[in-house]
Chain A
Amino acid sequence: MSAINRRDLLKYSLAGGGAALALRTGIAGQLGCDSCSTSGGVVAGSTLTSSSGLSSPPMRQWVDALPIAQDASEYSNGAAGYNPPFDVMETLGRDWWATNKAASYPLVNGLAHQRYNEFPAQRWYQIDVKDTLWKFHTDLVTPAPMFAYCGVNGPSIPGPIIRARYGEPIMVRINNLLSKNHFGVGVPETATHLHNLHSPCESDGFPGDFVTPGNYRDQHYPMIRAGYDQYGAGANGGGDFRESLGTLWYHDHRFNFTSQNVYKGLFGFFNAFDEYDCNDETGTLFPQTNLRLPSGKYDIMLAFNDPQFDNSGNIFFNVFDTDGHLGDRVAVNGKIWPFLNVERRKYRFRLLDAGPSRWYQFWLSKGLPKAGVNSWLPMAVIGNDGNLFENPVKLNSVMMGVANRYDVVIDFSQYNAGDTLYLVNRAEQISGRGPTYNVMDPGVPVLKFIVQGTTPAADPSMPWFSFANFPASGVSMRPLPRPTALELSTAVQRSFNFNRANGGWTVNSKLADISVPTVSPKQGTCEIWSITNSSASWSHPVHIHFEEFQILSRNGVPPAPYEVCRKDVLQLGPNETVRCFFRFRDFLGHYVMHCHNVVHEDHAMMIRWDIVK
């Protein structure tokens, strides 16, 4: 690609003149957004707009330490840990389903879970869901009443992390212990979606399949790679090794209440590892293939969400605002303005926009950013939506819609003890409808890194990588299973036109309705979905469950390098059309496609699609 990329051209055409182009290239790309599907201008800005009009009370910056995800509770004695016991015939849990499961979920070969005999669980977890009180900041006097997933240390926001391995199927019991008589925002009913594991539909957290208080649901995660039926069984989950997923998260998906329940705290982390992404930077595991990505305490999930506080420190949510929720504070792993002490070495940060509606554009600044001052540092971005790129991509910023993930490697070895770096959100957004695509200057710092150590720390990670030699030649982190010419020529083509009529969402001019499938792809086939946003003033992060897709073209041109990958959340800006390639494999049943601005989702911006024989 030439020095002027697609973004510049788009911007050039939007600006209708050379001034913007000169600005963009003249400052070596430092001011514009190099990871946005649409690009605006640079505007002054150092605060976040709230959608409620409220202002949060003052809080000191950088006084709370960044919380690191706790472990999920795993039973060392396997299935025997479950009480009531696990029964493969009854695995959908006690509830309406316990007496009516045959009507609700037809059994397949006598099993409630598809293909359970092929992928019997080897690891057994339980995640309780409880009411809790959570302090988003030391300076807030009153803790907020929240919902939370529980790990080994009890409730936390975000919830605990599960680190899974391909080839080791797991069962997770989601145990709803919320108070039935809950009062206020949120409903005490849970449908847990593991975004975007290759899991059978009955364990996917379909929005209508929620569990009421006092009941549980056992969700089966086979930990196989997509393409299992084509490539067959094998080590590390079999299937197509190029289809491994890495950075995932789980969150509530209760029909029509997803935004309220996620805002109330129901989201957590899930990482998957295989023979390339090994959770072992020393290279002991899988020495032939191990990419030796930073691991252990140097591999950190960062979830961003934006609570709004009133003057008394209570957190607010306007259930009558259908555009979306914007809070004026950003919590990182459940704390506002946290700091993290870092050693002088490489870290892997897995960034997640946990919503409900805010888009972020993260930049890395040496020292606190100041208006008009170029303190921005390039980042090595190794994955998008949880999936490793073929090669790291060097970016000044990453633009994230709700549920997008970016895996970023930051090397602190070149800094000195006491140096500070900041992760800065520069996306301007003034309503829930979507970002303006303007870049705020200097933006809003949300996380502070404080460098420790008089000498660089030991760092066995990524010996093949250096910024001086970028990208590293001869290393392919994860080859991309590109569509073949045959697949492209035989793919079923479908169009989805997302529009709005009378305040409701329409798909191809019909009101979105998940009681029936809108489309039903055949198992074992591939399709090209052309997804269009007909509105000029809305942006939608569109999420497709179960199968990852590859972008063939965005507005008629090939995708930029940071979108040449497998994805599960499509940034669909105003008036954009994106063509996406899918393969539908391995399991049957009902899944959904929806806007991951979960306020839009809760107002029916969702369709159901089924995989059929």
Chain B
Amino acid sequence: MMNRRGFFASLAAAAAAPAAIVLSRKSASAGIVHAVGEGKHNIPNVLVTDQDGKTYHFYDDLVKGKTVMFNFFYADCTGICPRQTSALLKIQAMLSDRVGKDIFIYSVSLKPEIDKPKHLKEYAAMHGIKPNSGWLLLNARRKDMETLRERLGFKDSDPVLDADINQHTGILRFGSDVWDRWSGYPLLGKAETIAEMIRQLDPDYVKKPLFDHPAR
């Protein structure tokens, strides 16, 4: 019987040589365009470097074949970032059986000129993000970071808000590249709900209702 990776590979092969997507206008802000049912997408494959100084191709090395969650932050942020990091620690703990194996967390710095890998490593230590725990703090060149932000839906379409780094998006984007299922939720929402939604991306996971029902 074909395993899931094989199933995925055959689907990918069927969609090989993806037709160039013709963007008539606004191509820069077009984001990722999915064909319904086909999983065609263009998550950027830009180079990113983690807190240990290791460099990866974003899509090929970090997303392909995995379940992932992304957020954006910067080390000296005193707004929502510390609470977001603590929320991600909670979610990581709730998914501890899978994070680092088939689920990965990526936090991309919004200030790549300042947040060099060694600073990201200090940030990780300061906040209790364990080494090799499946959570990478990523630095990319500014141009590449902007590409990631734009394509992954972290750019506010209001330019005034977008220019205000204190209003940077607090959405946690999560999805399964294996099943091409993508969703998002405010990272400061209920951690249990987010962890359960991430488990539910797996078709074989036995799903439970997301919310308790009150007695009537």
Residues of A bordering B, CB below 8 Å: 52-55, 96-97, 100, 104-106, 108, 114, 144-146, 180-189, 206-210, 212, 255-257, 263-264, 310-312, 314-323, 431, 433, 501-505, 511-515, 517, 537, 588-590, 602-604, 608, 610, 612
Contacts and interface: CB of A to CB of B under 8 A. Distances in A.
Given A108-B216, A590-B211, 9 more contacts: A53-B24, A181-B7, A183-B38, A184-B36, A256-B183, A502-B168, A512-B186, A602-B183, A602-B184
B179 A182 contact: yes
B35 A315 contact: yes
A112 to B, nearest CB: 11
Interface stretch (B25-33, B90-98, B100-108, B138-146): B25-33
B183 A257 contact: yes
A54 B27 CA distance: 8
B171 interface: yes
Contact of A320 (B35, B151, B215): B151
A588 B216 CA distance: 6
8 contacts: A53-B25, A104-B209, A185-B34, A256-B184, A256-B197, A318-B33, A502-B167, A537-B158
Given A182-B179, A603-B184, A314 B38 contact: yes
A329 B197 CA distance: 32
B216 A114 contact: yes
Given A53-B24, A322-B171, A589-B216, A431 B157 contact: yes
Contact of A316 (B33, B182, B192): B33
A185 B153 contact: no
Contacts of B213: 104-106, 589-590
B34 A319 contact: yes
B181 A604 contact: no
Contact of B206 (A96, A182, A323): A96
Interface string B165-203: 001111101010001111111101110110001001001
Chain A binding surface SS class: loop
Contacts of A189: 200, 207
Given A310-B33, A603-B184, A513 B189 contact: yes
A246 B152 CA distance: 41
B21, B32, B33, B189: residue with the most chain A Cβ atoms closer than 10 Å: B33
Contact of A52 (B30, B157, B167): B30
B203 A181 contact: yes
A588 B35 CA distance: 41
Contacts, number: 196
Contacts of B163: none
B30 A311 contact: no
A314 B36 CA distance: 7
Nearest to B184: A603
A455 B68 CA distance: 66
Nearest to B168: A502
Contacts of A209: 209
Contact of B36 (A106, A144, A312): A144
A608 B182 CA distance: 23
A610 B215 CA distance: 11
B123 to A, nearest CB: 19
A58 to B, nearest CB: 13
A589 B215 CA distance: 8
Contacts of A182: 37, 179, 203
Interface of B: 7, 11, 19, 21-27, 29-40, 79-80, 151-154, 156-158, 167-171, 173, 175, 179-186, 188-190, 192-193, 197, 200, 203-204, 206-216
B216 A106 contact: yes
A503 B33 contact: no
Contacts of A316: 33-36
B35 A183 contact: no
A52 B33 contact: yes
A257 B216 CA distance: 28
A503 B156 contact: yes
Contacts of B186: 502-505, 511-512, 603-604
Contacts of A511: 186, 188-189
Contacts of A183: 11, 37-39, 179-180
The list of the 6 closest CB pairs from A to B, nearest first, reads A503-B169, A320-B153, A145-B37, A502-B170, A504-B186, A208-B210
A199 to B, nearest CB: 14
Contacts of B209: 96-97, 104, 208-209
A430 to B, nearest CB: 10
Nearest to B162: A503
Given A53-B24, A503-B170, A511-B186, A184 B33 contact: no
B197 to A, nearest CB: 6
Nearest to B39: A184
Given A322-B153, A515-B193, A603-B185, A212 B39 contact: no
A180, A502, A512: residue with the most chain B Cβ atoms closer than 10 Å: A502
B207 A321 contact: no
Nearest to A510: B188
A73 to B, nearest CB: 25
Nearest to A210: B207
B22 A184 contact: no
A105 B211 CA distance: 11
Nearest to B187: A504
Given A53-B27, A256-B185, A513-B189, A311 B207 contact: no
